[in-house]
Amino acid sequence: MPHDLPKAYDPTAIEDRWAEYWVNEKLFAQPTPTFTDQDSHQDAKPFTILLPPPNVTGRLHMGHMLNQAEMDILTRWRRMSGRRALWLPGTDHAGIATQMMVERQLTEEGTSRQKLGREAFTERVWEWKRHYGGAILDQMKRLGASVDWQREYFTMDERLSVAVREAFVRLHEQGLIYRGAYIVNWCPRCQTAISDLEVVYDEHKGHLWEIRYPVLDAAGNDSGEFLTVATTRPETMLGDVAVAIHPKDERYLHLHGKKLRLPLMDREIPIILDEWVSREFGTGAVKVTPAHDPNDFALGERHHLPSINVMDDTAHINAEGGTYAGLDRYVARKKIVHDLEQQGLLGAVKDYTNNVGHCDRCKTVVEPRLSTQWFIKIQPLAEKAIAAVKPDADGKKIIKFTPEMYEKTYLNWMENIHDWCISRQLWWGHRIPAWHCSTCHKTTVARQDPTVCTHCGSVDITQETDVLDTWFSSGLLPVSVFGWPNITADNRADFDAFYPTSLLVTGFDILFFWVARMIMMGCWFAGEVPMPDGSARPLSESVPYREVYIHALVRDANREKMSKTKGNVIDPIEIVKQYGTDAVRFTLASMASPGTDIAFNVARTEGYRAFANKIWNAARFLFMNVDRAAEIGITVERSALGGMPQADADAPLEARWIVAELHSTAAKVNVALENYRYDDAANSIYQFFWGSFCDWYLEIVKLRLDFSETADKASTKAALTTLVSVFEAALRLLSPFMPFLTEELWHAIYDEKPPAKSIALTRYPSAAEAKVDEAALAAMELLKSLVVEVRALRKEIGVEEKATTPIELRIAAELGKVVQQNHALVERLARVSEIRSVGQISADVSKHNTPEFEVGVVYERTIDVRAERQRLTKEIAKHEQVISNADRQLNNPGFISKAPSHVIEGLKKQQESAKQLLDKAREDLNSLPE
């Protein structure tokens, strides 16, 4: 038997090899299952999980690592538990991020996307994608993610693009897509609208400028009175169309119905009354700029005011801004403030800190700005998406959130949702399939590119230049990856088998971006697909997934959020290089539970590498014994491996016990994983392997493995069989958490002739099979406790390492029997020569007390009285020295007045303990025989 494991565990040596093997052997490919009638019920549905597609520009960070470790653990566990399992990977084309990346390259080359033109630019992005796009998935491969690489997708793939186009056209046909002017968050750098969710707010120290607007008299001349407004963005005043006040504001009752002169622009604007205005804020008068503020936009709609957009796409003032046209927004701001001051119209200028929105991608300050965009009328989609999550009258839910609190967050958002702006002014993405007609000015939306306007037949049509929001396509993924919209009688096996998926594991940050959009679009479009029997699809079968698990954040060891500016970002790839993937996965798992952030501490990873090393060494011990046994003709039957090990009632206690521990651990781990308690699962396995198996069982079983001439071969074989079969089962239990180490050792156990291609394709020790022998557990607990106490006593009274001693044991008869039956075990583990059952421990014997027993170690030390007297005398002198030194310092006023209080306290404590030790030493000296 070779079993030639290298001496030291070296994760890098084994992980690359297995990662490559899993991919090459297509081990985790999940072909489309064909259902027979018997297994078409829910239990037989595959476990299906979509990888939240990373951006094609992405690099793996700790958040991905946690997300993927959690998904991989669950997928491996479900697969090993007998379910078909499909984990489906892919990447997102990530409109803004990817376009920015390539634009940056073009800038370095001294050119730009505008110079290239749309077609050449798009081709350039594809080229970039072909070269660099797969990096993050390559990292996943190296980390051993058990995904089906045969099904890998990219959101711009032809078949997924067909789905995107169909969804747009269908929504348009259903009257749910419209084009309109609306205030959007505009990024002047990216020159596109961005979603509310893509705006990050930072505190910004700015100013609040007060501007005095002259009130006009009946003849339209300045009346000499002013109405003062306050603003943080004075340049927007160029687009003001009114000033609003609260109708009941006593200060301004006399101004009702009057008009103002807009300074700098010399435009007459009305004073309007609206209850939305807060009388308490600022001066209680609000300038209204519908084209540059969402609240003002709403005000403008209510009062039928015009909207004057004063900025262009790059946030420069446009022709609507009069003499300020052409100036950058901040240059214009300075000039406007200056001009107002010159004209005596500038009021107070106050320091003001407010939250300013920045583009999440490029950090440019976002400009709320009116523009023409495409929208989805979201209400009917949102209604279904609410029904899919809201508990029904019986408290039943179709989609279950873990942690449960996210259900409320989701519902609250969905109940207050606004129409979704789906257009982006980018070149990279799915171009909106709409054609504008220059003849009749109507729009044609079509599945096939049209050559003429469907309204008037004109050939003078041009395609919309906007692309769709990236989340429009990723929101469709659960339906589109399984073949929608082409679900036909002979092309629906994937859809029927895998939809709805089982679970989504993702971070909170994309709850609204992605989770909510998938639910809306899944319920809407899958809802239109009939069930296999032709009946209408109920909502419960339309949802994209049945459960959502929102994972926590990985923070640094001090619980600080990782950030580039703080410089505390941990690169998972670096940590993996140092400690191995298995140790990093185990670190994350050991701290992952619903709703709890993870404080990632490298010291812990080091600890789990030591754990892996401990298991490695256990395997080496095991193989050494297997090989020695083979020399005398003892082998472990292969049939003993692969299942749930059992122990006969008459087997030795340690065999019954370790089997019971394994069963109990398996039961705990299965329950924990069922409830996303990765931490409980990982810690149970850890305790089993390190505590029960390595620290106790291996020590005991050593005593049974007798390979001598006179050995009882049957007993040795039984012990060896338990050892190997328990270890093999424990590897399977650990496998989802440490897939590489367990794969390596499992193949070694089978001597490279394993019953399956991978441990990942074997059966997980299940809770159902667990039959815990409680009596064995209790008996072993008693013996372990006895051994621990005896070892502690021996240490206390200074028994030499190799000496054996008798013990005195006071214990109830029933428990005493257990000890006597297993006396050999106690004797070997605690170096006991004899166990004396007593009614009372002898007076001169050192003893320990526990609730179950009292134990004493009988040990008479033969000592050299003269040497001991010398030692004690020296010790006494030392203590006296310490005490007198302390006395001298404490009585020195100079010292006392200068020394910090903790130094004085420390000195007093030192003196106190020296006094105690002195007393004890004197007592010992006095008790020495003459």
By CB under 5 A, name the binding residues for Zn ion. Answer: 187, 189-190, 359, 361-362, 364, 437, 439-440, 453, 455-456, 458
Give the nearer residue to Zn ion in terms of CB position, either 355 or 873: 355
Among residues 435 and 499, whose Cβ is nearest to Zn ion?
Answer: 435
- If residue 883 lies in a helix (H) or strand (E), which one and from where to where? helix 865-890
Distance of CA 119 to the CA centre of its chain: 38
Separation of alpha carbons 215 and 747, rounded Å: 89
Question: Is residue 701 within 8 Å of 721, Cβ to Cβ?
Answer: no
Contact 245, 282 (CB under 8 A): no
Burial 577-589 (b: 16+ CB within 10 A, else e): eebbbbbbbbbbb
Cβ proximity to Zn ion, 90 vs 95, nearer residue: 95
- The DSSP call for residue 263 is T
Closest approach of Zn ion to the CB of residue 310, in Å: 20
Kindly state the smallest distance separating residue 564's Cβ from Zn ion, in Å. Answer: 18
CB of residue 188 vs Zn ion: minimum separation in angstroms?
A: 8
Give, in order, the Cα–Cα distances in Å from 115 to each of 120, 316, 456.
9, 21, 35
Closest distance of CB 668 from Zn ion, Å? 49
| CB-based contact 501:50 (threshold 8 Å) | yes
Rounded Cα–Cα distance for residues 642 and 638 (Å): 8
Closest to Zn ion by CB, 191 or 873: 191
CB of 460 to Zn ion, least distance (A): 8
Cα distances from 431 to residues 71, 97, 320, 449, 878, in angstroms, run 33, 17, 30, 12, 88
Beta bridge partners of 214: 226
**Shortest distance, position 362 Cβ to Zn ion, whole Å:** 3
Measured from the CB atom, the residue of 177 and 453 that comes closer to Zn ion is 453
* Residue whose CB is less far from Zn ion, 315 or 359: 359
Q: Cβ closer to Zn ion: 361 or 668? A: 361
Least Å from the CB of residue 459 to Zn ion: 9
Nearer to Zn ion, 456 or 815 (CB): 456
The tokens for 895 are: 């010292």
Q: Shortest approach of Zn ion to residue 96 CB, angstroms? A: 7
Query: Shortest approach of Zn ion to residue 92 CB, angstroms?
Result: 18
- Work out the number of other CB atoms within 10 angstroms of the CB of residue 820: 13
β 267-273/222-231 pair status: unpaired
**Amino acid (1-letter code) at residue 404:** E
* CA angle in degrees (0–180, nearest 5) for 382-384-388: 115
Name the token pair of 386. 């609410």
475 and 19 Cβ atoms separated by less than 8 Å: no
767: Cβ contacts below 8 Å, ≥ 6 apart: 666, 667, 670, 671
**3-state SS string for 715-756:** HHHHHHHHHHHHHHHHHHHHCCCCHHHHHHHHHHHCCCCCCC
Q: In this structure, what DSSP letter does residue 232 have? A: S
Closer to Zn ion by CB, 361 or 620: give it: 361
In degrees and rounded to multiples of 5, residue 242 shows phi and psi of: -170, 170
Identity of the residue, 311 or 437, whose beta carbon is nearer to Zn ion in the bound complex = 437
First-to-last CA distance in the chain?
A: 65
CB of 202 to Zn ion, least distance (A): 14
Query: Shortest gap between Cβ of 554 and Zn ion (angstroms)?
Result: 27
Neighbours of 226 (CB within 10 A): 18
Cβ-based nearer residue to Zn ion, 233 or 455 = 455
